[in-house]
Amino acid sequence: MTAAPTTPRLKTSAMIASFADPGQKTTPAPFGHALVKAARENENIVGLTADLGKYTDMHVFAQAFPERFFQMGMAEQLLFGAAAGMAETGLVPFASTYSVFAARRAYDFLCLDIAEPNLNVNIVGGLPGLTTGYGPSHQATEDMAIFRGMPNLTIVDPCDSVDIEQAVPQLAASDGPTYLRLLRGNVPTVLDEYDYSFELGKAKVLRGGADVVFVSSGLMTMRALDAAKELARHSVDVAVVHTPTIKPFDAATVLGEVDTDRLVITLENHTEVGGLFETVASAVVRAGLGKRIVPIALPDAFLDAGALPTLHERYGLSTARIVARTLAELG
């Protein structure tokens, strides 16, 4: 270590750090409460977890429906194999763990037991992308890259509590398997200020703008909206397209915005490999558009441990870094 820092070093918070800004409006445990609500409507919904109920907001469901909650222990292969078996009996399981364990540890079980028979099992992954400071063991920076290659699987990367609340009943109602990049705890509430509703499989234009188009998913839509407001002060007019469903991808809506003279930037809480940027890029190439796209994403690297604000700043996900990058691209 070099000389003492001029400002106090931030400390890595508990496992699940909040990425809400100080004073930001938040909603507690939106997934857990949405699942309870959906379960009141659909008696076939059940909840499972692998020793992470409290950390994926599944505990809210467990308290409301103890007889419909199944603790599978710290055994992710069993978690997803059993979820498949339950779906085979007509139940609609929501199975939660951390994204790293779902994507890396239990892939074979998700693929062959759930996706191949196209069962309605809903995989709920906590700590997607860079939402914990615990380092690579917990940071699922490549989960979408892993999952995009899996046939039949729908992938949802929600922005905020509004997205999660509206997505859960739609995930339960859709026939095949889904993967939800869970935001848990006190989750920012952002999209209620826009004329917006979550529709599975649809991208939505949250605001128009003459100079720049942001195509974003997950919590980066929140940052994109903040950055757009900030850029307005620099007289830069930014449109924001939110694409919470990564697969199947709403190429029509996104290409409609991309195919202009505006600067296009994708923003995602995920490695630049195999996530939103490459999804948009492949759609652009298929359509024959010779369009440059700037990715704002995590680097293709194992990331540092530390405090989330520090890490988001370091890896370019902070609002300030987005603004600076956009201005630099505009020259």
Partner 1 sequence: MTTTTTEQTPVRGGSFEERRRRVEAAAYRIRHSALNMGEVQGQGYVGQALGAADMFAAVYADQLTYRPEDPHWEGRDRFLLSTGHYAIGHYAALAEAGIIPEAELETYGSDDSRLPMSGMSTYTPGMEISGGSLGHGLTIAVGMALGLRHRNSASRVINFLSDGELDEGSTWEAAMGAHHHQLGNLTALVDINALQADGRTDSVLRTEPVADKWAACGWHVQRVEGNDVGALLSAFDAVAAEAGLEGRPAVILCDTRIGRGVPLLETREKAHFMRIEEHEWQICREQLTNGYEGEGK
Binding site for partner 1 (CB under 8 A): 46, 67-68, 70, 72-73, 75, 77-78, 80-91, 93, 108-109, 112-113, 116-117
> Residue 178: which of 148, 155, 160, 201 has the closest Cα?
155
State the nearest-atom distance from the C-beta of 146 to partner 1, in Å.
17
Measured CA to CA, the distance from residue 18 to residue 45 in angstroms comes to: 28
Residue 64 CB, nearest distance to partner 1 (Å)?
Answer: 16
> Minimal distance in Å, beta carbon 79 to partner 1?
8
Helix, strand, coil abundance in the chain, percent, nearest 5: 40, 20, 40
Question: Which residues lie below 8 Å from residue 80, measured CB to CB, with a gap of 6+?
Answer: 95, 102, 106, 109, 110, 113, 114, 121, 123
Residue closer to partner 1 (CB basis): 83 or 168: 83
Q: How far is the CB of 318 from partner 1 (least distance, A)?
A: 40
Q: How far apart are CA 140 and CA 270, in angstroms?
A: 8
In the complex with partner 1, the residue whose CB is nearer, 86 or 246, is 86
For partner 1, give the closer residue by CB, 93 or 125. 93
The tokens of 61 are what? 């469901």
Residue 2, classified by CB atoms within 10 Å of its CB into exposed (0-12), middle (13-18) or buried (19+), is exposed
* Nearest-approach distance from CB 104 to partner 1, in angstroms: 15
CB 240 within 8 A of CB 205: yes
